[in-house]
């Protein structure tokens, strides 16, 4: 559990109008987005946590400790009386079961008097009562759990370092140190509710990630059936799905992957990109209709997966914002980050769905920028189409255009990659036929000259 001393300086902060405004906005957003009921039940209990903070404020004020005084004690200035080390405080770690966190004060006293002049009169009076002065006072009697201890001059490693060499005026001997422990009951309630809320979010995160992962896996099976060409099926929706996935990659819905900049999009930006993809998809569908009814079902599931992912990201961001406002700082928990889920789900979507339909850009010859058919794989492992390889060898170009390795003149028929050639014929039949025609035309020009293009069969 988070240690109390990390947040004690912020607990006494005023709630103000902004906190109440966010509370209304937070609850309205949960309802407006129509999140499932079990999502809402797992969300951060913002109002309850704010109520706990108000209770802590009241508890501290009853002890005569205001927020400014606590901050000064935990983060003292390096000049003035606050640097004398005569009065110090620190917060204990989060409580074990059955105990409460506490503020621990190290008070340096002489003849029963507090010697530090930087404290407010009310706080000094309260501490006098805590260490045993005026023990009949009602405030002291009410704090039955309060404990005071004489502290050894060394203080031990668990206590803050204090200056003990400075003699108190009128008392040249070593000053007497008293440790005062002030239990904070409502702080325990705050951390219990916060931990419960974060645990609920963590469980929901795991459940939704599993559900999305399963939906993506099922979607991959459907796309495989309708998009991958088969000898037993005359028509497939390969080219329709390729156009859809190409558009999807262009829209960069959840991540920007441009050469100039690469970053994760916020849920608001992702929503705009998803809307753009939907608009362009409608226009695309008019020109590329499916042959199979199952493809329409798969497309709806593909859109639903993206919509569910976006809704998860928006819910996570809303709860991260609520927790950040509660703690007055950014909640740096990687597992709850919307970007973490986006990265995981998008990676699975790319590997199990988008990869089913290969894109032409991944199989272009780096010389002519058309499909690498027939593919010649050089000893350096780079691939070129056979036509470009012939041209390079005829022009005595000995070095690979990509890595400059001296491998071009070594290539022969043994460098033809038959597995890749069959792959290209299967997934790019239109482009392969077009490339074959271009190669035949180029070969005719090489043999018969430019007049070959003018020849026609009667």
Q: What percent of the chain has pLDDT over 70?
A: 64
Q: How does residue 381 score in pLDDT terms, banded at 50, 70 and 90?
A: very high
What pTM does this model have?
A: 0.70
**Structural element, H or E, at residue 256:** strand 255-257
Q: How many CB atoms lie within 10 A of CB 149?
A: 11
State the Cα torsion 190-196-197-200 to the nearest 10°. Answer: 180
Mean pLDDT, rounded, for 173-184: 64
Write down the pLDDT at residue 124.
Answer: 63
Write down the pLDDT at residue 132.
Answer: 54
d(CA 295, CA 293): 5
Alpha carbon separation from 273 to 219, 268, 296 (Å, rounded):
21, 9, 22
Write down the pLDDT at residue 397.
Answer: 93
Looking at the predicted structure, is the pLDDT value of residue 176 above 80?
Answer: no
Mean pLDDT, rounded, for 154-164: 35
Mean pLDDT, rounded, for 313-319: 91
Write down the pLDDT at residue 95.
Answer: 45
Q: Which residues of 377-411 are buried (b: 16+ CB within 10 A; e: fewer)?
A: bbeeeebbbbbbbbbbeeeeeeebeeeeeebbeeb
What stretches of 373-449 adopt beta strand conformation (E)?
375-377, 383-385
Handedness of CA 301, 307, 311, 314 (dihedral sign): positive
Looking at the predicted structure, is the pLDDT value of residue 136 above 90?
Answer: no
Q: What is the pLDDT of residues 205-217, one digit of tens each?
A: 999 999 999 999 9
Say which residue, 385 or 232, is predicted with more confidence.
385
């Amino acid at each position: 559990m988070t240690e109390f001393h990390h947040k004690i300086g912020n607990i006494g902060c005023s709630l103000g109008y902004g906190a109440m405004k966010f509370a209304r906005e937070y609850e309205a957003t949960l309802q407006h987005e129509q999140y499932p009921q079990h999502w809402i039940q797992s969300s951060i209990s913002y109002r309850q946590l704010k109520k706990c903070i108000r209770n802590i404020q009241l508890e501290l004020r009853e002890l005569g400790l205001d927020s400014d005084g606590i901050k000064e004690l935990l983060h003292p200035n390096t000049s003035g009386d606050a640097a004398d080390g005569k009065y110090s405080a620190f917060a204990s770690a989060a409580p074990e079961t059955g105990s409460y966190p506490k503020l621990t004060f190290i008070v340096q006293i002489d003849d029963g008097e507090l010697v530090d002049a930087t404290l407010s009169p009310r706080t000094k009076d309260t501490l006098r009562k805590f260490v045993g002065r005026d023990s009949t006072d009602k405030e002291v009697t009410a704090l039955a759990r309060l404990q005071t201890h004489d502290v050894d001059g060394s203080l031990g490693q668990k206590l803050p370092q204090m200056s003990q060499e400075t003699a108190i005026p009128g008392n040249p001997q070593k000053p007497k140190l008293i440790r005062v422990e002030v239990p904070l009951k409502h702080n325990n309630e705050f951390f219990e509710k916060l931990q419960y809320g974060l645990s609920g979010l963590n469980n929901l995160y795991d459940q939704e990630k599993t559900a999305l992962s399963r939906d993506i896996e099922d979607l991959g099976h459907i796309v495989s059936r309708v998009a991958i060409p088969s000898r037993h099926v005359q028509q497939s929706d390969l080219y329709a799905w390729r156009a859809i996935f190409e558009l999807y990659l262009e829209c960069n819905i959840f991540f920007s992957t441009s050469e100039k900049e690469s970053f994760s999009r916020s849920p608001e930006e992702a929503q705009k990109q998803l809307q753009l993809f939907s608009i362009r998809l409608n226009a695309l569908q008019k020109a590329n209709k499916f042959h199979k009814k199952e493809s329409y079902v798969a497309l709806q599931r593909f859109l639903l997966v993206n919509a569910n992912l976006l809704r998860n990201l928006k819910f996570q961001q809303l709860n991260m914002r609520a927790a950040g406002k509660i703690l007055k700082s950014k909640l740096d928990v990687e597992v709850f980050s919307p970007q973490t889920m986006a990265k995981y789900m998008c990676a699975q979507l790319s590997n199990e769905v988008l990869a089913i339909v290969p894109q032409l850009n991944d199989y272009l010859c780096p010389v002519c920028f058309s499909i690498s058919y027939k593919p010649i794989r050089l000893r350096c492992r780079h691939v070129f189409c056979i036509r470009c390889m012939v041209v390079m060898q005829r022009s005595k170009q000995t070095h690979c255009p990509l890595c400059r390795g001296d491998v071009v003149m070594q290539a022969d028929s043994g460098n033809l990659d038959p597995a890749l050639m069959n792959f290209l014929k299967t997934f790019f039949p239109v482009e392969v036929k077009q490339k074959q025609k271009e190669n035949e035309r180029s070969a005719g020009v090489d043999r018969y000259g430019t007049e070959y293009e003018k020849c026609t069969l009667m």
